[in-house]
Amino acid sequence: VLRFWDLGAKAFHHDESLHAFYSWRLFDGQGYVHDPMMHGPLLFELNALIYLVFGASDFTARLVPALFGVALIGLPFLLRHELGRAGAIAAAVLFTVSPAFLYFSRFIRHDIYVDVFTLLMVIGVFRYLSTGQRSWFYTACVPAALLFATKEDFFISGFIPFVFLAASWFLLRGERRQLFHSRVRALGVQA
């Protein structure tokens, strides 16, 4: 309800107007030319698809960010083994009522996409290391690729898990170190 109530009621912010306009041009058949000033193409492609399915309006322009905002609330469930049930619920509640996350999930910009993809990438890394299931490795890889198609700060978002993994390679001890090394080697990485 917080993500969708009066979603189209306020006027577009300057960035929103640009994103909505270039998405509409793509939807209208005028094409899309990548300009690094406007970040990656994913936002425009998703919005053009929404315009095609539901029509173009202020509400539909903000629909994909609102859906991503809802998805963000559900993602802590995938970390319940690491956070505990109460921790996952607390994280979901905080994502729900956080003024910053609420604002950016009602705003047609890249921020909420970056948040969701980064968290999903981190979840994939942690769950793969915990379970060894390759599906979690792919769960980390797909959002990493989508981050790259979303915004340039992928280099920061991707660097953080890389530093974590590199530090873990050297800092873990005993049985945990052996398990970590075996999981990384199972991906075909030799060290």
Residue-by-residue pLDDT tens, the chain, 191 positions? 999 999 999 999 899 999 999 999 999 999 988 888 888 899 999 999 999 999 999 999 999 999 999 999 999 999 999 899 999 999 999 999 999 999 999 999 999 999 999 999 989 988 888 888 889 989 999 999 999 899 888 888 778 877 877 787 777 788 877 887 787 777 776 65
Q: Please tell me the predicted confidence (pLDDT) of residue 190.
A: 62
Query: What does the pLDDT read at residue 111?
Result: 93
| Residue 189: predicted pLDDT | 63
Report how far residue 62's alpha carbon sits from residue 13's, in angstroms, rounded to the nearest whole number. 12
Show the 3-state SS of the chain: CCCCCCCCCCCCCHHHHHHHHHHHHHHCCCCCCCCHHHCCCHHHHHHHHHHHHHCCCHHHHCHHHHHHHHHHHHHHHHHHHHHHHHHHHHHHHHHHHCHHHHHHCCCCCCHHHHHHHHHHHHHHHHHHHHHCCHHHHHHHHHHHHHHHCCCCCHHHHHHHHHHHHHHHHHHCCHHHHHHHHHHHHHCCCCC
The pLDDT score that the predictor gives to residue 18 is: 93
pLDDT of residue 90: 97
Distance of CA 80 to the CA centre of its chain: 18
Q: pTM for this structure?
A: 0.88
Q: Which amino acid is at 188?
A: G
